Amino acid sequence: MAQASAAAALRRLRRPRDPSAAFLSSLLHSCFLSSTSAYSPVALHGPKPPAAAGSSITSSACSSSTCSRFDSYRRQSAAAATTTRALHHAPSSDGSSESTPTSQSQLLHFIKSTFGTLEGKNHCWLNAVNGIWKTFNQEGIYLVLLYQSHETLDGDSKHSAAFRKLKYLHQRYPHLNVFAMQYGSGISSLATQSQAVRTIMEEYITFPILLSDKDFTNMANGACYLLFEGSKDHIIFTKLDGDPELMIRGMEGFSALSAEPIENVVESGVPWQKEEVVKEPYVGSLRNLLLYHPGGLSIDEDGDRIFISDSNHHRIIISNGDGVILDCIGSSPGFEDGEFESAKLLHPAASFYHAAEDCLYIVDSENHAVRKADFGRRFLETVYPVFNKKGSGVWSWIIDKLGLTKEDASKKDDTSNIQDFDADSVVFPWHLLKISEDDLLVADRSFETSWILSMSTGEKKNIVRGRAEAMELCQQMIDERHALLKDIHINGSSGDKGHSNLLEKIPCNELVSSISRFRKCIVFCDTDGQRVQKHDLDTKETSNIHFTNVGVLGLPYWFVCRLEKVSTWGHSAGQFQDHNRKVNVLPGRCNIKVSVDIPVDTELATPLVESCIWRQVRGSGAGISESDAQDTTSEKVGIAQQWYDEIDNLAFSEAAEEPAVIKGDDKPADESHQDQKSVHFTCAVNVSPGSCELVASAALYLRVDRTKADHEDQKAVIKRILQCQGHEEHVGVELLTENHRDARDLVIMKPVHLRLRMECADHPAGTTNKETISTESSLEISITLE
């Protein structure tokens, strides 16, 4: 029924339109995201574009010519605006005036005084990823989003769209220094910091946020963007519903932002988006929660599957209705097609299960893409954007790594690619709905901009601008979600009123992707509580989904770093605690048993399994896998004799029958040594004379001990497990426990990192110089996680 009404609306939208009207409309909506802000833009001097009202729908066929004509216009407009506004400070057409030179000087002086200082008397930096605030200086160009701290930030607000616009410009112009500034209340206030931290997690903010207790209302006249050069003393303003890109392109130093190509970048598949590394928000150890901002879900009722977008962990978790984890899609942040274990996503959001194809369509938000997971092949591929895919063979990989791939002539000029961005491209999508047999509606978080894509080809058919037109396509689906919410509110038990109140805080647009009916339950995401809950329609009770079989998720990607990043453990997530040990060993096999004491007032949420353990041996040693872990002999054997024996074994031995594989849950690493207070895992190393190092990482899944009934005690234990240090971590725990009446159900991943250095002397002397003696030894290493 919902698809039928959507199809009818879609037919109306596809009727031929007046080309001139389409052009005028595209001029007005050429900004990447529309905003419903009540603020008026500060007037830009120069010719004004024609005005038009209402929402608009444009076809991708005319986007190229429209963008070219508008680009020429807005460069002239921006240049004129920049010169006039910076020098004369003229009043705007709506009667407001820009800040005086004195107030500009005060604001600019305060901002520059915070550079290089993490926290001061009147300021505090949050989300300072890898100390990025230290790089701010008197050089460069700065774009800042300025807003008051008492203003609400939610999915429907003008500020949410403003943050996304700032992210867009940050990606498009990597040399531009970008941050947000929240002013007007105490920097140590929990409410002030909570507002900023919630924004960081929800909007996936990777640039810093500056908190200030000073009041700049009379200078900024409300929320706005401001642009300045570090070496100059004036600021350019524009209101939220203005286009900050006009300021950037019009200023004198604009050419420096895009003239120099960026080296050592990874291309994401989106031609205008390039990143040196995948940047992630800084919230410390909060990422060690089992779920980290579950942003959306969909269901396969016939197959008893729930697809959960674990957005800030960049993966899709697949579980059944009882919480047993069946599979996982995504290995780490990035943009890469491949098998489920190796494919990469970046902040996935809504999803849609297509039963006929047995495929899951996924919105890959930060990659500005739509992906398709084929469960038959266990393969993730890209539906949109459509681009020439590279060969998947070994030879294609070698050619690509050697840099011998032939480039398209249209892509040789990196600068033109950045500047000639298609304004109609899908940018920061969030929602995904099927509106007809072959059409998908992809929309941003607030439904201000929507795109209609073909499921079969991935081509973009139409662009829908304005919330009213988008609502016409999916209003019935939103009404169905509201009906589920109403059912929980009316029929919930008295003890579930807290859950009902929580759901009422979810903006209506968010309901499209975060709540669904699953058999006799209503399943929904609680992003503040970092959990997924279900409401039983029979018992009228609401409870958390308790996930089991977490070994399927493996070791989290941030627990292990590449060899070249050994010196920076926990990249973009703070430093992990390494347990360093040094021992002397004899040459030969060394059996190592690692005993880990669980922190006080905690218990294992699930046994430690092999898939959650990573081992690597460096130097003069070699790791022994389980298949090679056969008993060795300490008998004296010559090297030549060992070589001949191996040849004989290969030539005359019969092939051993492969043991039967029994499918089921991953077995614990050492079943005989799993208890409630400690866990054990083993490593085996063949050591040769010299120095070697064993690096082992493991993920323990813990929860607060059941004896801890007091809420404040539970909060203290959680902070101790997470080792909270920064403001972001403490505020994150406060938000977390505020939404958990009983935090004992919360599952936390605790990392274990061991670095064992082994010094090995020469082999014991044999009866002849050609003989060596190998030994077998055992070690036990104890680790305490406190």
Chain mean pLDDT for the chain: 74
375 pLDDT more than 90: yes
Look at the chain and report how many structural domains it folds into.
Answer: 3
Domain span at residue 225 reads 101-252
In a domain, 684, yes or no: yes
Q: Are residues 316 and 177 in the same domain?
A: no
Better-predicted residue by pLDDT, 784 or 491: 784
Q: State which of 207, 229, 252 marks the end of a domain.
A: 252
Q: Are residues 614 and 702 in the same domain?
A: yes
The tokens for 421 are 């961005």
Predicted confidence at residue 273, as pLDDT, reads 45
CA atoms of 227 and 52, how far apart (whole Å): 28
Predicted confidence at residue 671, as pLDDT, reads 46
Q: Is the dihedral of CA 58, 63, 68, 69 positive or negative?
A: negative
CA atoms of 595 and 625, how far apart (whole Å): 19
pLDDT digits (tens, 9 = 90+) for 95-127: 333 445 557 788 888 998 898 888 889 999 998
In which element (H, E) is residue 218 found?
helix 217-220
In a domain, 454, yes or no: yes
Q: Are residues 220 and 296 in the same domain?
A: no
Q: Are residues 368 and 479 in the same domain?
A: yes
Q: Are residues 540 and 593 in the same domain?
A: no
Dihedrals phi, psi of 269, to nearest 5 degrees: 100, -20
In a domain, 404, yes or no: no
- Between helix 727-738 and helix 711-722 the angle, nearest 10°, is 140
Written as one letter, the residue type at 67 is C
List, as one string, the DSSP characters of 434-452: E-SSSEEEEE-TTSSEEEE
In a domain, 398, yes or no: no
415 pLDDT more than 70: no
Contact (CB, 8 A) for 446 and 428:
no
Give first-to-last CA distance, the chain, whole Å.
57
In a domain, 325, yes or no: yes
In a domain, 528, yes or no: yes
Assign residue 353 the CATH number of its domain.
2.40.128.630
Q: Are residues 539 and 598 in the same domain?
A: no
Predicted confidence at residue 106, as pLDDT, reads 84
Contact (CB, 8 A) for 70 and 27:
yes
CA atoms of 678 and 604, how far apart (whole Å): 9
Edge-to-edge strand ranges of the sheet holding 542-544: 515-518, 521-526, 531-536, 542-544
Predicted confidence at residue 251, as pLDDT, reads 63
Of 124, 169, 125, 151, whose CA–CA distance to 222 is shortest? 151
Q: Are residues 176 and 236 in the same domain?
A: yes
Predicted confidence at residue 70, as pLDDT, reads 38
DSSP letter at 609 equals B
In a domain, 735, yes or no: yes
Q: Are residues 487 and 358 in the same domain?
A: yes
Question: What number of CA atoms fall less than 13 Å from residue 156's CA on the CB side?
Answer: 8
Of the listed ranges 46-50, 228-232, 663-667, the one predicted with least confidence: 46-50
CA atoms of 126 and 211, how far apart (whole Å): 8
Contact (CB, 8 A) for 67 and 272:
no
Predicted confidence at residue 61, as pLDDT, reads 38
pLDDT digits (tens, 9 = 90+) for 498-544: 554 555 555 556 678 999 999 999 999 988 889 999 999 888 888 99
Q: Are residues 233 and 304 in the same domain?
A: no
753 pLDDT more than 80: yes
Q: Are residues 517 and 604 in the same domain?
A: no
Better-predicted residue by pLDDT, 410 or 694: 694
Q: Are residues 326 and 470 in the same domain?
A: yes
416 pLDDT more than 50: no
In a domain, 52, yes or no: no
Q: Are residues 530 and 582 in the same domain?
A: no
Assign residue 204 the CATH number of its domain.
3.40.30.10
What are the distances in angstroms from CA 713 to CA 571, 726, 737? 31, 20, 11
pLDDT digits (tens, 9 = 90+) for 303-312: 999 999 999 9
Contacts of 249 (CB under 8 A, 6+ apart): 74, 75, 78, 79
